[in-house]
Chain A
Amino acid sequence: MLTVALPKGRIAQETLEIFETIFGESFKFDDRKLILETENFRFLLVRNQDVATYVFHQAADIGVVGLDTLEEQGLDVIRLLDLRRGVCKVAIGMRVGEKLDLTKAEIKVATKMVNITKRYFADRAISADIIKLYGSIELAPLVGLADMIVDIVETGATMKQNGLEVIEEIMESSTYLIANKNSYFEKKSEILDIYEKINDVVKQEN
């Protein structure tokens, strides 16, 4: 029996569809239920940011989560497979027409992803004042809270609508199948079996 942590929403839906393709049966959560048990799997529906935490602490053996969230949290889990879904970028956005001036004495950056942002500027030896926000990140440069933002960009439409543009990409992200490090060795044949089956589906799609 493998326990699988899935993030609520589109990724959970897409992942369950992969399982349906593999096993030819229906995998659907009953209304508002957070656990779905089948013969060989137990699926848990958790918040996106909590998937790696469930896997790290072995409340789940495997899980599906975005690479950006994994990089931000830095938890020691195994990245088994790139599912090539939910493709997006983590990028720096500024007001249209503004340029990135790294010689400024003080750079203010608003973001949800504090750790990725810290690492990016630290690697370039730039001292940045990072302001943690929980949403509506695009607002920060418009009201003078920050010089720039670091945020997830899929099409760039949200930034554009708010008068911002991408001036630099920090990383590419997509959803990954992850595993707990002890579960991997304890349940290697089960985990590698599901890895293979999911990989076959992903390869066929691409």
Chain B
Amino acid sequence: MIFEHEIPEGSKLYFGDSAKRKREIEQVASEVLYKEGFEEIVTPLFSYHQDDSIADVKELVRINDTKNNKMSLRADSTIDVVRIITKRLGRNTTHSKWFYIQPIYRYPSTEQYQVGAEVIGESDLSVALNQAMEIFGRLEVKPLLQISNIAIPMKLSKLLNIGLDDFRHINIQKFLELDIEWVTKLVYLQHPEDIDAVIEIVPDEIKEELFKMKEICQKIAYKNKVIAPLYYAEMLYYDELFFRVIEGNKIHTRGGRYVNEDVTSVGFAIYTDTLIEANK
């Protein structure tokens, strides 16, 4: 039996102060992004292409069109935004900096409001990351910025013959028991100022990836940051440098570099709901 006051589990309801905060977050984000030359895009709620951007297709809320083709509700904005700009608007615009303010939906009834930005054709992640941190600055939130590079666990997995699951579960006991000095240093590496000492002793293929982490740290003025070179998360599209913005147990933002049909781009998504929650 469903009571009159019930709303589906995972759906969102904002009113009064929380609705005001939501509007404020979206307003501040759009002001920052417009000022930096971004344009807004609102993509359709219904999509034919979500299978390409979701790791677990069971999370899609599926429906069919009039010809019984499979569609789903938007479960991820990034790939749809990039696809629409490059494939549908390609002839009408050469603009590359876009932002969106729209929710995503996951099966069975999870809603998540997001503010996202994509810089199409850009390979320098700091372009996106600095925008995200400026938005947090304007919102007077000082979360922890974690910078990682997914190429490092991928390469180490092959080099050391350690499964990616051990990286996903941060199985440090396994890494430390290898008793290899540079692996131990990678486990302990936390602050950008310590990266040089580790770069000196790692194998060349890891050195190259740590340099990228060092470079991006130098381009980010935001102080409250850590580096986590062994952090691995299952992601469908980030292929190199990526970041998380965390506060307590909440993840406010994820972003990174990705390649879609040979075009390298960078972007991020701010999870509006967790920011509203943090404000309570």
Residue numbers of A with Cβ under 8 A of B are 57-58, 78-82, 180-182, 184-186, 188-189, 192, 195, 199
Contacts and interface: CB of A to CB of B under 8 A. Distances in A.
B169 A58 contact: no
B147 to A, nearest CB: 10
Nearest to B173: A81
A63 B146 CA distance: 23
Given A185-B231, A192-B188, A80 B246 contact: no
Contact of A58 (B173, B226, B231, B249): B249
Interface of B: 144, 146, 169-173, 187-188, 190, 226, 228, 231, 246, 248-249, 251
B169 A79 contact: yes
A184 B188 CA distance: 11
Report which residue of A78, A181, A189, A195 has the largest number of chain B beta carbons within 10 angstroms of its beta carbon.
A181
A185 B231 CA distance: 9
A78 B188 CA distance: 15
Given A182-B246, A185-B228, A188-B190, A80 B146 contact: no
A198 to B, nearest CB: 11
A181 B226 contact: no
Report which residue of A78, A82, A186, A192 has the largest number of chain B beta carbons within 10 angstroms of its beta carbon.
A186
A182 B173 contact: no
Nearest to A76: B169
A76 B193 CA distance: 30
Report which residue of A78, A185, A189, A195 has the largest number of chain B beta carbons within 10 angstroms of its beta carbon.
A185
A150 B266 CA distance: 49
Given A186-B144, A189-B190, A57 B249 contact: yes
Contacts of A181: 170
B190 A79 contact: no
A185 B144 contact: yes
B246 A185 contact: yes
Given A186-B144, A188-B190, A192-B188, A80 B173 contact: yes
Contacts of B187: 192
A78 B144 contact: no
15 contacts: A79-B171, A82-B173, A182-B246, A182-B251, A184-B170, A185-B144, A185-B146, A186-B226, A188-B188, A188-B190, A189-B188, A192-B172, A192-B188, A195-B172, A199-B173
Nearest to A179: B170
A12 to B, nearest CB: 22
A162 to B, nearest CB: 36
Contacts of A195: 172
B170 A78 contact: yes
Contact of B172 (A57, A58, A80, A189): A80
A81 B175 CA distance: 11
A138 to B, nearest CB: 33
A189 B251 CA distance: 21
Contacts of B226: 185-186, 188
A180 B249 contact: yes
Contacts of A81: 173
